[in-house]
Amino acid sequence: MKPGSALPQHALSGLLLACIGLGAGSTTVIAAESSAIPEVIVTAQRRAENLQTVPVAVSAFNAEMLEARQVLDTQDLQAIVPSMKLTNNVASVTVLQPALRGSLQQDASVITAEAPFGIYVDDVYIGRLNGNNMTLNDIDRVEVLRGPQGTLYGRNTLAGALKFQTRTPTLDNTWLDVGAGVGNYDQAMLKLSAGGPLSGGWAGSIATLYSQKEGQFKNVLTGEDSDSQRNRAVRAKLHYDASDVFDLVLSGSFIQTKHNSLQLIHATTPGVDDVHQFSSNDLVPTYGYYRVSTPSNPAAMPPPRTPSPEGDTKQAIASINASYDFGAFQLRSITGYVKTKDFWDTDFSGRGRIHGASWADVDQWTEELHLSGKAFDSRMNYLLGLYYLNERGDQELGWALGAMGPAASNGQMRTKTDSYAVFGQLDYLITDALKATAGIRWAKDDKEFSYAFRGYFPPATPLSDFVHLEDDWSEVTPRFGLDYSFDPFWRVDSLMAYASVSKGYKAGGYNGINIMNANDAKLSYDPETNWTYEGGIKMDALDRRVRLNMAYFWADIDDLTAQATAGLAFPVANVGDAEVHGVELDLTMVPVDGLSVYWNAVFQHGAYGDIDPAAAPSQATYKYQVHPRVPQVPSHAYTVGFDYDLPVNIGKLDSGLRFGMDWFRTASYITSATNDFRASSYDRLNGYLGLDINRHWSVRLDVKNIRNSKDITSGSRGTAVTRRPDGTISAPGGGLGGFIIMPPREWMLQVNYRM
């Protein structure tokens, strides 16, 4: 579809439903200020602003909203953020494959992979995807910026930015939060957060979390339960809060997850042969859902294997965030250090046919300087900045083919990255209602990649190879926009409309997954860029009982980066150009006091333009008899839900009953550039019931996947791995052979005390 052509039918029906909801409310609701949708403050433009005045597509959630939506880790966000997909990588529960508006990265378990959107914790950029499925601990706010953020934000904000803001202590706020929970599959949770004033103008806080679960999967070969997970997290903050002009926040955190790695079930497609595309609905599990057949004591191979699938991810983050207000301008410095250590050892086939093990160690330093202020009688806001990143990483990957077979190969890689940027953005009030925004960023990435490969087939004459690549890429990414704020009219309290055009950029990279040889490692892939054209509205109506934020986007992508599956090779390459466009919306209504109803959705379409004839999508027509589709772009996805607060009398205690439900649905989507597997559409239904007692105590029951549906999100048909008499390996066609299934029904009962 081209600009100006008709929207997909789903988009039109979505707009119609939004209008019906608004119209019904306008005739039946009597507004009350206490029931108005609260104002949401975000820092999407690097300054605190009302969400409804920011000319960017933003999804924002405070701590209360995250609790109501049962968002416990990063992956849970995909159900409440339009266009975003966060599916598990095949290697580890702590690694997610991120996708947003058609841009994606799927080899997320290797240190060469980088997300198509920036990930930030307290404004510190997190470069590695190893450990990106972090347990959320004492989060104050989550903001998801959709569309290129290449002007104001750091590296690789090609399609957006994901920001986690943790709670910061102040001199005028004291709190104590304590909670404990138990649930099925041996779930247990303990958490504590405390903060308040100290002495000498300092405030401090500490937050800790422990959670566990196990036994969702059964190993039919050993008879043991599997899928054990243990999460530990701690964060400490110090805030100097005694000056009107100087502000300083020191933060340090540590997160560790120990687990049985990701459990992949083995499945076949008896009704679909290898030359046709298959879907989740075609899969027949070999041992049943949530069942694997993984042998213990697998073959020894570097890195050292463990008796059963196992993983251990550790991440430490330290930051210094300092600012000084000189009156005419403000100077801010953000210094960050991130240490990531990741180990995983897993069975990719669900039956012991393909084993992999990895350890990775990455150090990252970042420094960012901002100079911001106002001019021309405060009609202009400006921000100028410098950015630097230094990252060094090492990783070793080992592979074994066949049940109990000897080692197949070992690869050792080292990466070095230095990234620089100069940027600036300003907005100017042309009139009291019309504002213009302009920004530009120059970014440069210097990268080095070293790779040592050793293959053991046949064992008598090992194959060895060494690769060393150096690349530097640079790009200029501008942004232009206009927004107009209307005066209140009829029952509309506020209405802002905006239009923008911006360019996004993600650095090029390297191939770190090489099982049979080092050929893929010898080729780097180029940066991916896009021009995104966007228009939207942000509206509050009926005394802020209705909020509708809607955006239409058109992303024109050049050199789309995607991963293919070719036997036991998984090359990442620039497959060609693509266009992804659609409508995103967030609708919230308060039809009666205490009841909040919400609907967030995306209706989109993705299509290739010029495709590299040698790339995987070009081969889909004759390999699988399908027209290639852009991966991870379902035609629609949405969540509908409600929260209801009902006051109740328990003696003289001030109490309330809270309950809510949400239903998430996604259409089918292609999982990778190969186009051989289409994940079928699926639904997830969640709910909660809570009782608040005397404003301090609460008891709450959370249930995820109420219908206990079995949903498979990605995977690949197995390769027939055989070892010939001469010792060489035969692995024609196919892929790893395992499939990722989402968790079954989970429930947890929590007791919390808040002061």
How high is the pLDDT of residue 1?
A: 39
Q: What is the pLDDT of residues 320-369, one digit of tens each?
A: 999 999 999 999 999 999 999 999 998 999 998 888 899 999 999 999 99
Q: Is residue 38 within 8 Å of 61, Cβ to Cβ?
A: no
Q: What is the mean pLDDT of each run of 10 residues along the chain (755 residues)?
A: 38 33 32 71 92 95 90 90 89 89 91 93 93 84 94 90 96 96 97 96 97 93 91 96 97 95 92 92 95 77 74 96 97 98 92 89 97 96 97 94 72 96 97 97 97 80 88 97 96 97 96 90 95 98 96 97 81 94 97 95 96 90 92 96 90 86 97 93 97 92 97 82 51 72 96 94
Enter the pTM of the model. 0.91
CA-atom Rg of the chain in angstroms: 26
Q: What is the dihedral of CA 52, 53, 59, 63, to 10 degrees?
A: -70
Q: Identify any residues that bridge with 345 across adjacent strands, giving them in sequence order.
A: 310, 357
Gap between the terminal Cα atoms of the chain:
55
CB atoms within 10 A of CB 682: 17
Residue 99 counted as domain residue: yes
How high is the pLDDT of residue 634?
A: 97
Using DSSP's 3-state secondary structure scheme, residue 46 falls into coil
Calpha distance 556→552 (Å, rounded): 13
Token pair 């800790």 in the structure block, residue? 208
Q: Which amino acid is at 458?
A: P
How high is the pLDDT of residue 56?
A: 95
Q: Is residue 696 within 8 Å of 178, Cβ to Cβ?
A: no
Give 263's contacts (C-beta < 8 A, 6+ positions apart): 216, 217, 226, 227, 290, 292, 309, 350
Domain that holds residue 646: 10-754
Using DSSP's 3-state secondary structure scheme, residue 158 falls into coil
Residue 4 counted as domain residue: no
State both tokens at 659: 């309950």
CA distances from 30 to 21, 25, 33 (A): 15, 9, 10
How high is the pLDDT of residue 403?
A: 57
Residue 538 counted as domain residue: yes
How high is the pLDDT of residue 509?
A: 95
CA neighbours closer than 13 Å in the CB half-sphere of residue 13: 9
**b/e per residue, 221-257, with b = 16+ CB within 10 A?**
beeeebbbbebbbbbbbbbbbeeeeebbbbbebebbb
Residue 2 counted as domain residue: no
Residue 3 counted as domain residue: no
| Number of structural domains found in the chain | 1
CA distances from 409 to 109, 354, 517 (A): 17, 12, 8
Residue 5 counted as domain residue: no
CATH number at residue 421: 2.40.170.20
Cβ burial of 194 (10 Å; 0-12, 13-18, 19+) is middle
- Total count of residues recorded for the chain: 755
Secondary structure of 263-297 in HEC code, one letter for each residue: CCEEEECCCCCCCCCEEHHHCEECCCCCEECCCCC
Residue 314 counted as domain residue: yes
Q: Which amino acid is at 146?
A: R
Q: Which amino acid is at 512?
A: G
Q: Which amino acid is at 159?
A: A
Residue 342 counted as domain residue: yes
State both tokens at 8: 């997909």
CB atoms within 10 A of CB 703: 19
Calpha distance 345→533 (Å, rounded): 43
How high is the pLDDT of residue 675?
A: 93
* Helix-, strand-, coil-residue percentages of the chain, each rounded to 5: 5, 55, 35
**b/e per residue, 531-541, with b = 16+ CB within 10 A?**
bbbbbbbbbbb
| DSSP letter assigned to residue 301 | -
Using DSSP's 3-state secondary structure scheme, residue 201 falls into coil
Q: Is residue 593 within 8 Å of 656, Cβ to Cβ?
A: no
How high is the pLDDT of residue 34?
A: 58
